[in-house]
Every structure is written in C-alpha cells, then in structure tokens.
Amino acid sequence: DAKTTQPPSMDCAEGRAANLPCNHSTISGNEYVYWYRQIHSQGPQYIIHGLKNNETNEMASLIITEDRKSSTLILPHATLRDTAVYYCIAPPYNQGGKLIFGQGTELSVKP
C-alpha cells in the first residue's frame, strides 16, 4: 500500500465542518484513496473513495490535491455520532482489494 500519514487525533465542535487530512505522497497513478471509519470497536465503515477528482456522497466530501499526494475528508456538519477513528488507505491496484489499516485519526466531536 502507498504509505499514508494522518494526525493521531483531532477535535471538532458539533455542527462545524471536520476536515481530516491525509498525506499519501508515494501514491501511484492507479491507486485509489479510500476512507473508512470505526466507531468504538464496531466494524469499519466505508465512507468514500476517489482517484483524482473530488467526490461527494451523503456522508462526506473528499478533496484530492492535483498532484494526488494528499487528500482531505470533509464531514460538513459533524455530529457527536461522527466521533470515531478515521482511516485513509491507498491500497495497491493489483493486490486483491485487501486494505491495510494504519492507526488513523481519532476524531472527537464535542458539544
């Protein structure tokens, strides 16, 4: 997997946007960037993924820099239920789809 680097923890006020950064400077041209989250030892939950264009779905937006060396996951209006560990993963294209989880960013949404 392309190595990803995330801050270990972040805080966000409820109702504000949470912007979670990820560096993936070694990513290759055909490797997607995936974001998952894990809420308190539940199963990891898929959030969003992208290749080079910005993506948006009902959960979040993903902004990928033009050089693809970093990305930002945006939760536009964070709620207390968004408190979780967020993982940025860039799996190799030809590696059978397995994901290797790092330590992620522990996001605490505070009232």
Residues that bind another protein (CB under 8 A): 34, 38, 41-46, 49, 95-104
DSSP state at residue 44: P
Nearer to another protein, 89 or 109 (CB): 89
Nearest approach, Cβ of residue 70 and another protein (Å): 21
Nearest approach, Cβ of residue 69 and another protein (Å): 23
DSSP state at residue 63: E
Nearest approach, Cβ of residue 31 and another protein (Å): 12
Nearer to another protein, 13 or 28 (CB): 28
Number of separate helices (H) and strands (E) present in the chain: 0, 9
Nearer to another protein, 14 or 38 (CB): 38
Task: Give the dihedral sign, CA 72/75/80/86.
Answer: negative
The rounded distance, in Å, linking the Cα atoms of 15 and 79 is: 6
Nearer to another protein, 14 or 32 (CB): 32
Nearest approach, Cβ of residue 104 and another protein (Å): 8
Q: 5-30: b or e for each residue (b if 16 or more CB lie within 10 Å)? A: ebeeebebeeeeebebebbbeebeee
